[in-house]
Each structure stands twice: as C-alpha cells, then as structure tokens.
Amino acid sequence: MLKGKFVPSQCGVAVYKDISGDYSYLPERDAAILKDWINTPYSV
C-alpha cells in the first residue's frame, strides 16, 4: 500500500473492513496505522 503499485489500495480497505467488523487479527499498533491510512491515504 505504501510503495507504489505493488499492493493495491483495495487490500488495505478490505483489511480495514475486516478489523472494523467481527475480525481482529492485527496487533493494535498495526490497526492504528491502517486506520490512519484509511483517513489519510498516502504512498511513497
């Protein structure tokens, strides 16, 4: 998600939807970074 087009941004959105619902498979710090990215997407 961060480095060009290697990972489509839809992957991040799908993971965010998962962890916002019934699933919780990311550590809290990673979930927080993903939530920040959803609010303000960026790439390098």
How many structural domains is the chain composed of? 1
Residue written as tokens 């303000």? 40
Report if residue 1 sits inside a domain: no
Q: Is residue 19 domain-resident?
A: yes
Dist. CA 39–CA 35, nearest whole Å: 6
Check residue 36 and give its pLDDT: 94
> What is residue 44's predicted lDDT score, i.e. its pLDDT?
66
Has residue 44 been placed in a domain?
no
pLDDT at 25: 93
Asked, for residue 24, whether it belongs to a domain, the answer is: yes
pLDDT at 41: 84
User: Is 14 a member of any domain?
Assistant: yes
The torsion angles phi and psi of 10, rounded to 5 degrees, stand at: -60, -25
Which range, of 5-9, 13-17, 39-43, averages the lowest pLDDT? 5-9
For residue 28, the enclosing domain spans 9-39
Is 35 part of any domain? Answer: yes
What average pLDDT does this structure show over 6-21?
89
In a domain, 4, yes or no: no
Which residues, other chains included, contact 41 with Cβ-Cβ below 8 Å and sequence gap of 6+?
Answer: 9
Give CA–CA dist 22/8, Å, rounded: 23
The pLDDT of residue 9: 82
